[in-house]
A and B are shown apart, each in its own frame.
With several copies, the nearest count.
Chain A
Amino acid sequence: MEQILTLAANNLLSPIILSFALGVAAALARSDLSVPEAAAKALSIYLLFAIGFKGGVSVSAHGIDAKLGLTLLAGVILSAALPMVAFGLLNVMTKLSRLDAAAVAAHYGSISIVTFVAATSVLESSGIAAEGYMVAVAAAMEAPAILSALWLISRGGDGRRMDSDLWREILLNGSIVLLVGAFFIGWATGEEGLAEISSFVVAPFKGVLCLFLLDMGLVAGRGLRGRSGALSPGVLAFGLLMPVVGSMFGLGAGLLLGLSTGGVALMMVLSASASYIAVPAAMRVALPEANPSIYLTLSLGVTFPFNLTLGIPLYVAFATALTGA
């Protein structure tokens, strides 16, 4: 318990979290501070490239693990199953329509790569190692949740939501391609490749993450300001409960697979986090009648800050305790 608190306090006082808080505060105070869209996208390209690349280098260094395949599979299953859990909870806790509930559920099966990145940076600071291929697991967990949600809807008699364009857009969305591509580049070039570009992908990483989270804070804060009315107390409670529930599924999977402490923690983080890029875009195409204010505010305005500030230290503490590290 004490360890959790220390970790949480350390986490809350890191420049990364404080930058996020600054963004939220600036947005709530209606400051005109803003990061240009192109710059925010460039920062995210940098983060995806760096995190994928470093994951690949780590795999090339430690050799390929027998558990890789199983872990990927577990990720896919979690991503597909968590929307069912979320949908059930939403039916109990809220009065959302079937459509809105399915759309929200899709977000919680999928993942937030920024939460993942923030968690790796916390692990690193704490000196806890993790399997390099967890970035590949992250990529594998992006899409299955969307299919689950559409299946939930089609069971309600409302079909024909997917076209082949949407398939391609989901499976080959920019983040997945960049993350996986950089992972393979890191794997192929290994330590030697890392040596060449480490003063780009390693040294400034945390600083870039600060600026990126500043922008995320601005975006989340604006969403909260403009749309918080869209959330009933039940929906809000779901946004805080679901990540914890999800993380428990991730914990179970991680322990079953026998992952390292860091691996278990990241599996929890992936299960706990909710998408706010890939899934919203897919929902706008496939379920345009679902209300974006609900799923965006919930995912980015509630669950993301929760995971970033309290969730990550909690998951890391659990993983540490239960893997006996």
Chain B
Amino acid sequence: MQTHQAKRVEITIEAIMQSRLSEALIKAGVTGFTVLPVLGGSGRSGAWVRAGEIGRASGMVQVICIVRAENVDKLIEAAFSVVERHIGVVSIVDCEVLRAERF
């Protein structure tokens, strides 16, 4: 089956910032993304687990966005403008996709 080159960008970010990130992504021309729940994690700002969150306000989510390689820079800049002052991680992986017309 024919596949097409693309980039898979994965952004781990505070849940409370997710709607702002979505908006920024859509403004940057992204055609779609998927949001996964995150149970817990650890980083420079310490360890946390969702079940043990004080105030339960500060959970995180993982936003996955598959784009054509030529759009990845725009996407990352959009994402970075939101993530910048916040804790979070952005990583990019090369991937192949089916049905390229969708991206």
In whole Å, how far is A162's beta carbon from the nearest beta carbon of chain B? 13
Known: A284-B16, A285-B17. A276 touches B51 (CB 8 A): no
Q: Does A277 reach chain B (CB closer than 8 Å)?
A: yes
Does the CB pair A280–B57 fall under 8 Å? yes
Does the CB pair B17–A276 fall under 8 Å? no
The answer, among B16, B19, B46, B51, for a CB contact under 8 Å with A34, is B51
Q: Does B68 reach chain A (CB closer than 8 Å)?
A: no
Q: Does A147 reach chain B (CB closer than 8 Å)?
A: no
Does the CB pair A223–B14 fall under 8 Å? no
Does the CB pair A226–B46 fall under 8 Å? yes
Does the CB pair A220–B54 fall under 8 Å? yes
The answer, among A36, A285, A288, A300, for a CB contact under 8 Å with B54, is A300
Most chain B Cβ neighbours within 10 Å, of A36, A222, A227 = A222
A288 CA to B17 CA in the complex, in Å?
10
The answer, among B19, B47, B54, B85, for a CB contact under 8 Å with A219, is B54
The answer, among B20, B51, B54, for a CB contact under 8 Å with A223, is B54
Does the CB pair B58–A292 fall under 8 Å? yes
A219 CA to B48 CA in the complex, in Å?
12
Q: Does A2 reach chain B (CB closer than 8 Å)?
A: no
**Closest B residue by C-beta to A225:** B52
Interface residues on chain A, number (Cβ under 8 Å) = 28
**Closest B residue by C-beta to A275:** B55
A276 CA to B57 CA in the complex, in Å?
9
A218 CA to B51 CA in the complex, in Å?
10
**Closest A residue by C-beta to B19:** A165
Does the CB pair B54–A296 fall under 8 Å? yes
Count A-B pairs with CB separation below 8 Å. 60
In whole Å, how far is B79's beta carbon from the nearest beta carbon of chain A? 15
Q: How large is the interface on B (under 10, 10 to 19, 20 to 34, 35 or more residues)?
A: 10 to 19
Residues of A contacting B: mostly: helix
Does the CB pair B54–A276 fall under 8 Å? yes
State which residues 240-275 of A face B: CB under 8 Å.
none
In whole Å, how far is A281's beta carbon from the nearest beta carbon of chain B? 4
Q: Does B86 reach chain A (CB closer than 8 Å)?
A: yes
State which residues 43-80 of B face A: CB under 8 Å.
46-47, 50-58
In whole Å, how far is B9's beta carbon from the nearest beta carbon of chain A? 21
Most chain B Cβ neighbours within 10 Å, of A40, A276, A292 = A292
Does the CB pair B16–A226 fall under 8 Å? no
In whole Å, how far is A214's beta carbon from the nearest beta carbon of chain B? 14
Most chain A Cβ neighbours within 10 Å, of B46, B55, B85, B86 = B55
Residues of A within 8 A of B54 (CB): 219-220, 222-223, 227, 276, 280, 292, 296-297, 300-301
**Closest A residue by C-beta to B49:** A222
**Closest A residue by C-beta to B86:** A288
In whole Å, how far is B5's beta carbon from the nearest beta carbon of chain A? 28
A220 CA to B54 CA in the complex, in Å?
7
Apart from A34-B52, A219-B52: 18 A-B pairs, beta carbons within 8 A = A41-B56, A165-B19, A218-B52, A222-B52, A223-B54, A226-B46, A226-B47, A280-B55, A280-B57, A280-B58, A281-B16, A281-B57, A281-B58, A284-B17, A284-B58, A292-B54, A297-B54, A300-B54
